[in-house]
């Protein structure tokens, strides 16, 4: 098994944090993982992104031309990365910020109003965990219980007060994805 995740959004949306969290959770689940952040001109308002490879064996190359999962936090990320998603892959898009819908018939699509859900929980900064909870429900490469424990172990001290909201964000992302998958 090998899954390649591409996570993209605007700088400040927590793209790098959830990518790194995903890699840590993979390691905590006994899997191999690589995390490659992309810094550069993206920091000036374009899309920031990272790649995470998760595998049950050694990872030969951490770069995937056609990721199996794309998590798009905003419109520019959707436009840029939806076309390169591998056939049969999973596209998780933040319907709160993305008005477009994929016309592809060879992928699984999960349009989740993540920013609105995070706002209802109490903080739009946890949109990233809503998205990750949904993505790992649609592509269950890592048990969500492992993700929760990893989050508790790796959340920065200055953000420790957000832990209950982050855990709730993961749960709501999971619940939303389950309702869509079962529909």
| Per-residue tens of pLDDT for the chain, all 183 residues | 999 999 999 888 889 999 999 999 999 999 999 999 986 554 555 678 999 999 999 998 888 899 999 999 999 999 999 999 999 999 999 999 999 999 999 999 999 999 999 999 999 999 999 999 999 999 999 999 999 999 999 988 998 999 999 999 999 999 999 999 765
Where exactly are the structural domains of the chain? 2-182
129 by DSSP, 3-state: which? helix
Neighbours of 40 (CB within 10 A): 8
Given a contact cutoff of 8 angstroms between Cβ atoms, the answer to whether 140 and 178 are in contact is: no
| 3.40.920.10, 3.90.800.10, 3.40.50.150, 3.30.1360.170: CATH of 2-182 | 3.40.920.10
């Amino acid at each position: 098994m090998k899954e390649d995740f591409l996570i993209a959004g605007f700088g400040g949306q927590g793209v790098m944090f959830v990518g790194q969290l995903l890699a840590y959770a993979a390691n905590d689940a006994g899997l191999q993982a690589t995390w490659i952040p992309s810094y550069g001109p993206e920091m000036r308002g374009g899309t920031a992104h990272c790649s995470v490879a998760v595998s049950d064996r050694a990872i030969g190359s951490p770069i995937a031309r056609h990721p199996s999962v794309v998590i798009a936090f905003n419109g520019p990320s959707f436009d840029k990365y939806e076309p390169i998603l591998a056939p049969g892959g999973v596209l998780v898009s933040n319907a709160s910020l993305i008005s477009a819908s994929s016309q592809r018939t060879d992928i699984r699509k999960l349009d989740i109003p993540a920013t609105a859900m995070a706002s209802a929980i109490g903080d739009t900064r946890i949109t990233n965990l809503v998205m990750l909870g949904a993505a790992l429900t649609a592509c269950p490469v890592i048990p969500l219980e492992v993700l929760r424990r990893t989050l508790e172990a790796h959340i920065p001290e200055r953000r420790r007060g957000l832990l209950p909201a982050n855990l709730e964000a993961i749960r709501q992302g999971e619940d939303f994805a389950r309702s869509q998958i079962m529909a």
